[in-house]
């Protein structure tokens, strides 16, 4: 098993190494003075890590994502469960959310600045807006796709409403809720970088724009991009851990 995993990882490591090698060769061959080599990116990253600004930017971005995404979970899960159970709520609210959902969070930036200024509240609001709709949709669909036989069984035993909710509706929808959270967190991470590029003075998005504006430090631009990618991967990994919880395993084994 362990050996098999190693063998599976091998091709992707080869591809990664090839990409870095080709990148390096092209930069050397074209004698570019602006575009950095992989090594310059590494030294640039170390420089930022040493003087501490890298951690500040990462912390600022993660804080905004945590706050915006956390608020979105608190709103989306109860709202999605309610819309899934109460048909009237679904037909009333669903059209509104279906209209709001396709609007790119970037399009909200001017309004966010108007309403919330240029502090932390704007990006938190944007992240909230970006991640709340996919989570509502997934949660609602999680409730809608609960198999009738389970609802019939619950009805048969005549359990009180709170028990029906805690032991049937919520756990039955949980796998889809987690899928929604994975989508929501992915979108949130995309949005925080974009939001920080516009109006803020901290965060990885700001770091990228600032590195370019302050002396064409493209080594730091690329470093920022790679760090964003790695953190995004880690966040998704955390969400995958949720999918491995025992209470939702049933959804993925057959």
Partner 1 sequence: MFIKNKIEVQKVRKGFGTNGSRLEVIEGLDFKVGDGEFVAIVGPSGCGKTTLMNIIAGFQPPDDGAVLVDGQPRHAPSAKGIVITQQGSVFPWLTVRQNLLFGLADDLPEREALAQEYAELVGLKGFENNYPHELSGGMLKRAEIARALVVKPEILYMDEPFSALDALMSLRMQTELLRILAKERHTVMLITHDVEEAIHLADRVLVLSPRPARIQASFDIALPHPRRVSSPECQALRVAILKELGVTAV
Residues that bind partner 1 (CB under 8 A): 149-150, 152-159, 163, 167-168, 171-172, 174, 246-251, 253
> How deeply is 92 buried, as exposed, middle or buried, from its count of CB atoms within 10 A (0-12, 13-18, 19+)?
exposed
Nearer to partner 1 by Cβ, of 146 and 204: the residue is: 146
Q: Is 9 exposed, middle or buried (0-12, 13-18, 19+ CB in 10 A)?
A: exposed
- Closest to partner 1 by CB, 1 or 253: 253
Q: Looking at beta carbons only, is 174 or 220 nearer to partner 1?
A: 174
Nearest distance from residue 207's CB to partner 1, in Å? 43
Residue 166 C-beta: closest distance to partner 1, Å: 11
Nearer to partner 1, 8 or 156 (CB): 156
**Considering the complex, what minimum distance in angstroms separates the CB of residue 184 from partner 1?**
22
Tell me the two tokens of residue 246.
Answer: 């025992």
* Closest CB 175 distance from partner 1, rounded Å: 9
Alpha carbon distance 165, 82 (integer Å): 10
H or E, element range at 41: helix 38-51
Give the residue with the Cβ less far from partner 1, 51 or 155: 155
CB of 169 to partner 1, least distance (A): 11
Among residues 117, 130, 108, the alpha carbon closest in space to that of 189 is found at 130
Contacts of 32 (CB under 8 A, 6+ apart): none
Residues 254 and 123: their CA atoms lie apart, in Å, by 41
Min dist. Cβ of residue 120 to partner 1 (A): 38
Taking each helix axis as running N to C, give the angle between helix 121-144 and helix 170-199, from 0 to 180 degrees, rounded to the nearest 10: 160
Nearer of residues 112 and 146 to partner 1, judged by Cβ:
146
| Closer residue to partner 1 (CB): 2 or 149 | 149
Q: Report the Cα 38 to chain-centroid distance in Å.
A: 27
Query: Buried b / exposed e across 193-207, counting CB within 10 Å, b at 16+?
Result: bbbbbbbbebbbbbb
Minimum CB separation of residue 171 from partner 1 in Å reads: 4
Q: Please state at what angle helix 218-243 crosses helix 204-213, rounded to 10 degrees.
A: 170
């Amino acid at each position: 098993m362990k050996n098999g995993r190693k063998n599976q990882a091998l091709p992707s490591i080869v591809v990664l190494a090839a990409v870095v090698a080709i990148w390096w060769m092209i930069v050397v061959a074209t004698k570019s003075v602006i575009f950095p080599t992989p090594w310059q990116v590494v030294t640039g990253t170390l420089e930022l890590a040493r003087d501490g600004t890298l951690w500040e930017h990462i912390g600022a971005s993660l804080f905004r994502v945590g706050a915006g995404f956390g608020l979105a979970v608190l709103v989306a899960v109860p709202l999605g469960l309610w819309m899934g159970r109460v048909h009237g709520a679904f037909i009333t609210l669903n059209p509104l959310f279906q209209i709001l959902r396709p609007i790119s969070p970037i399009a909200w930036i001017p309004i966010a600045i108007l309403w919330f200024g240029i502090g932390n509240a704007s990006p938190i609001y944007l992240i909230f807006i970006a991640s709340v709709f996919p989570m509502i949709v997934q949660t609602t669909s999680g409730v809608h796709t609960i198999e009738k036989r389970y609802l019939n069984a619950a009805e048969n035993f005549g359990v009180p409403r709170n028990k029906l909710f805690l032991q049937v509706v919520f756990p039955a929808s949980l796998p889809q809720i987690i899928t929604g959270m994975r989508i929501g967190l992915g979108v949130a991470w995309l949005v925080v970088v974009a939001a920080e590029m516009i109006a803020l003075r901290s965060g990885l998005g700001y770091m990228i724009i600032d590195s370019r504006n302050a002396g064409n430090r493209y080594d730091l631009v690329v470093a920022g991009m790679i760090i964003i990618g790695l953190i995004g991967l880690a966040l998704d990994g955390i969400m995958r851990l949720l999918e491995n919880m025992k209470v939702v395993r049933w959804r993925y084994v057959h």
